[in-house]
Amino acid sequence: MNATIIHKENVTDSLLDNLAKSLPGILADTLEAPGGRAAIVKPEQISLEFSKASPRDVGSDIKIMIFARELPSRASREKEMAKKILESVVSLPTKPGETHTIDVRLYLMVVGVAEYIES
């Protein structure tokens, strides 16, 4: 599972550090679903990528795009899960007077998977 965090210049390093620490756990808790091995999500399985937005970029100060495997139990709760992730991110501690806007997008995709297990 991958998450891309695109942030504008006004977002502080302390907030980005909080996201780096907290987001894998938030995503693991929210996206784990019944359905076998493919549905198990552990924080160490989540890859985070941070990048700075272009000065010409409009919209939210922080854009979080989450790319996860589509499963029936996830697809039926897609909007609910995105809202829960947003609420968890908004509740992260910030410094007094620090304000920013956040946009969370959850993309559920059909992913081809191949696995080799050594005997």
Question: Which pLDDT tens digit goes with each residue over 53-93?
Answer: 998 998 899 999 999 888 888 888 889 999 999 999 999 88
pLDDT at 97: 81
| C-beta of residue 116 within 8 angstroms of C-beta of residue 74 | no
User: Domains, the chain, ranges and CATH?
Assistant: 2-109 (3.30.429.10)
Q: Is the pTM of this model over 0.85?
A: no
- What does the alpha-carbon distance between residue 113 and residue 3 come to, in Å, rounded to a whole number? 18
24 CB burial (10 A radius; 0-12, 13-18, 19+): buried
